[in-house]
Amino acid sequence: HVLRFLSWSCCLPVPSERLFVEMADVMAAEGWRDAGYEFVCIDDCWMAPTRDEHGRLQADPKRFPSGIRKLADYVHSKGLKLGIYSDVGNKTCAGFPGSYNHYDLDAQTFASWGVDLLKFDGCNSDTLELLAEGYRRMSLALNKTGRSIVYSCEWPFYLRPVQQPNYTEIKQYCNHWRNFFDVYDSWRSIKSILDWTALHQDSIVKIAGPGGWNDPDMASIFVFLSQLVIGNFGLSWDQAVTQMAMWAIMAAPLFMSNDLRHISPEAKWLLQNKEVIAINQDPLGKQGYQITKDKNFELWERPLSGQAYAVAVLNQQEIGGPQNFTFSLTFLGNGLACNPACFVRQILPASRDWGVYSWVSSLNVEVNPTGTVLLKV
């Protein structure tokens, strides 16, 4: 299954032991863990500026006075898991000690602390050869610890400006991998990720599946600017629905980067929506793709288990009112999704049954500007 996370990173508020304890408490008490959000993840800036006398990474003593081991124990006591951050180069993106030439030691350190996920960034690596070697070596080092640690890479993102990533090799070493720029709390950012994914779907969709997933974005070095920016300030309601629907279609790991202590009931309903999460987590593990684009409308589908399909109708227009898009059900699943008939249910923006349709029927969908209607067929 694609894993689901809450991720916090540098800047404001500065990451601290208290912050992660409070987030773990909220995740356990307010339904996030039960919805499937399993990990509390620390991003960059958790470290002390230097390694200890034995060469090991150490937490900043003022902000993490009890150390990462005790924080992991507390997170585990809440039925959750802890993720941490490091970098393949000699420094992290924010300038803290990186893992270059310390891969085995750092992997052993993380395992001894009880860490369950490593996000491994790609800043400050001198060459692409060293970058690739570092990602391979850390994967092997994590496996040697004997502890199950999810390995989150940014390998293809750093390769793409120079060469086409070898996704077959990357999947051999990584559990999920970042492809594109940081996602920001804005519609422009969400739209750019969707456009990039559609443009490159021929090379990335086929590699996704159990054990290895395309990640539209990992957490950036700014708080509130991670993968699911729902519940913050930059997206309208329709745009938040679009992000949740499309991340489910793309089989993307669901990282939240928001303050669960101060989230609106509407955002909580969307992020905890069981039907959307079930699509995201579908055990068949196939990533969805765009099947047609008509002016401002995009039609996407994702094959699901049980001969079902998730279907998203996205309206990219940014002005005006709702518009209608009509498409034939023969478009779906190479003509097989609704043959000879199918039941259609709307999941987002609100759930309701549409009923039974024949193979030759057409669906007429009304979609708000920058909104998405998510269906299950």
Angle of helix 17-29 versus helix 67-77 axis, rounded to 10: 10
Residue 215: active-site member = no
Find the catalytic residue in 25, 73, 104, 182: 182
CB atoms under 10 Å from CB of 334, counted, come to 10
Furthest CA-CA distance within the chain: 71
CA-based nearest residue to 44, from 3, 4, 7: 7
Residue 182: active-site member = yes
Find the catalytic residue in 43, 87, 116, 121: 121
Who's near 336: CB < 8 A, 6+ residues apart? none
Task: Locate 271 and state its tokens.
Answer: 């992020």
Phi, psi of 35 (to 5 degrees): -75, -15
SS3 of 13-75? CCCCHHHHHHHHHHHHHCCHHHHCCCEEEECCCCECCCCCCCCCCCECCCCCCCHHHHHHHHH
Report d(CA 271, CA 269) in Å as an integer.
6
DSSP state of 182: P
Would you please indicate which residues are annotated as catalytic (active-site) residues? 121, 182
